[in-house]
Amino acid sequence: MTKRVVVWGTGFVGKMVIAEIARHPFFELVGVGVSNPDKVGRDVGELCGLDEPLGLAATDDVDALIALAPDALVHYGPTAAQADDNIALITRFLRAGIDVCSTSMTPWVWPAMKLNPPNWIEPITEACEAGQSSCLTTGIDPGFANDLFPMTLMGLCGEVRKVRASELLDYTNYEGEYEFEMGIGKPPEHRPLLENKDILVFAWGATVPMIAHAAGIELDEITTTWDKWVTPVEVKSAKGVIEPGNVAAVRFTINGVFNGETRIQLEHVNRVGADSAPDWPTGNDNDVYRVEIEGSPSITQETAFRFTDGSGRDAAAAGCLATGMRALNAVPAVNDLPPGWVTALDLPLIAGTGTIR
């Protein structure tokens, strides 16, 4: 059965997903919502850089999109920095009985996380109840790279002494915001937003208590570490030049402590330039997500996202497409689940119906 979807957002992720939907046998794109007034009324194919128009105009008319009665809203809106706008939009669809699969509000990956403020949780809970609808937030990290992947591998073990999920990426070609959040490109004395423990755990640590819950334990505490690497030479990137003496790599961890030991760990090593922070962890390949389990048995898994279609798109773009497709491909499963919050622990195996054709 074809699933009729409305997509909100034609940014970097939304554009790539819409291109996939346009040729997908299982999903029908019935509407596209945008918040940028300059995009309203324009053909979605044009907005997404497709070869042909789709005959579908982008709109900011939420009521009109709801009136289409889609099977789901697939939401690639702004980040949690615009939480109020996201909540206002998503609750309108949920109250209308339309399920939502989103990649925006990363703390919602595990709504039960204690740091989630009530005014972020209660409106969604109430809207799901009113509309008998469901709401899933997923992503890559936070998301499937540090919830689905490690928990799947943990199911192969008799004992897990430690599980670590790592993002090991080179940001050379990345054009998104990292100066303010991570301090890359800034002097080492600059204290970026995510260096604050509570903000770091809130923004990216939701999968730590999720894994603990899945393993049947209650964590003693969640701790963090933050390290910076200062470049002695100029480092060139898509965003310009990082001058000598400024930060060209960061490494941080979010640690779930149980019985006095770190048992669950999320690690990020984000560098600009392959030669930056040479002593810090790297993958067997560049730009990978790695899961390491110390246990019985011990397991190591590395996942690399790539385009092999000759388009020249880099690993970061491939990871972004995977992020978006996880939300889209989850629509049938979310439709079949009871109303309310949906997390990775509620989803069945999603094999990607219609991907082989």
Neighbours of 210 (CB within 10 A): 24
Using CA atoms, how far residue 304 sits from 176, 239, 290, 301, in Å, is: 20, 24, 9, 10
Q: Which two tokens stand for residue 156?
A: 């192969």
Return the pLDDT at 61. 98
Q: Which two tokens stand for residue 161?
A: 């002494």
Backbone angles phi, psi at 7, to 5 degrees: -105, 130
Contacting residues for 4 by C-beta, under 8 A, at least 6 apart = 27, 28, 30, 68, 69, 70, 71
Q: For residue 87, what is the enclosing H or E element? A: helix 83-95
| Span 233-255, average pLDDT | 96
Please tell me what DSSP assigns to residue 232: S
Q: For residue 7, what is the enclosing H or E element? A: strand 3-8
| Span 165-185, average pLDDT | 91
Tokens 């990649």: give the residue: 103
Return the pLDDT at 69. 98
Neighbours of 120 (CB within 10 A): 18
pLDDT band at 81 (very low <50, low <70, confident <90, very high): confident
Q: What does the alpha-carbon distance between residue 35 and residue 124 come to, in Å, rounded to a whole number?
A: 21
pLDDT band at 165 (very low <50, low <70, confident <90, very high): very high
pLDDT band at 21 (very low <50, low <70, confident <90, very high): very high
Q: pLDDT (tens digit, 9 = 90+) per residue, 281-319?
A: 999 999 999 999 999 999 999 999 999 999 999 998 999
Which residues in the chain are classed under CATH 3.30.360? 148-311
Return the pLDDT at 64. 98
Contact predicate 40/29, CB 8 Å: no
Q: What does the alpha-carbon distance between residue 101 and residue 325 come to, in Å, rounded to a whole number?
A: 10
- CA distance between the termini of the chain: 15
pLDDT band at 275 (very low <50, low <70, confident <90, very high): very high
pLDDT band at 79 (very low <50, low <70, confident <90, very high): confident
Return the pLDDT at 175. 78
| Span 18-27, average pLDDT | 97
Which residues in the chain are classed under CATH 3.40.50.720? 3-138+330-342
pLDDT band at 177 (very low <50, low <70, confident <90, very high): confident
Return the pLDDT at 192. 96
Q: pLDDT (tens digit, 9 = 90+) per residue, 331-355?
A: 999 999 999 999 999 999 999 999 9
Using CA atoms, how far residue 294 sits from 129, 164, 248, 297, in Å, is: 41, 9, 30, 7
Q: What does the alpha-carbon distance between residue 357 and residue 351 come to, in Å, rounded to a whole number?
A: 14
Asked whether residue 19 carries a pLDDT value surpassing 90, the answer given is: yes
* Sign of the dihedral through C-alpha 351, 80, 125, 147: positive
Please tell me what DSSP assigns to residue 149: H
Q: What does the alpha-carbon distance between residue 119 and residue 88 come to, in Å, rounded to a whole number?
A: 11
Q: Which two tokens stand for residue 135?
A: 């709401």
Q: What does the alpha-carbon distance between residue 81 and residue 181 come to, in Å, rounded to a whole number?
A: 11
Burial 158-182 (b: 16+ CB within 10 A, else e): eebebbbbbbbbbbbebeeebeebb
3-state secondary structure of 75: strand
- Give the Cα-Cα-Cα angle 62, 64, 68 (nearest 5 degrees): 115
Contact predicate 124/86, CB 8 Å: no
Return the pLDDT at 343. 98
Contacting residues for 117 by C-beta, under 8 A, at least 6 apart = none
Q: pLDDT (tens digit, 9 = 90+) per residue, 90-116?
A: 999 999 999 999 999 999 999 999 999
Looking at the chain, the whole-number percentage of residues with pLDDT higher than 70 is 100
CATH number belonging to domain 148-311? 3.30.360
For 34, counting Cβ atoms within 10 Å of its Cβ (0-12 exposed, 13-18 middle, 19+ buried), the class is buried
The CATH superfamily assigned to 3-138+330-342 is NAD(P)-binding Rossmann-like Domain (3.40.50.720)
Q: Which of 172, 161, 169 is nearest to 302 (CA)?
A: 169
Return the pLDDT at 356. 94
Q: pLDDT (tens digit, 9 = 90+) per residue, 8-18?
A: 999 999 999 99
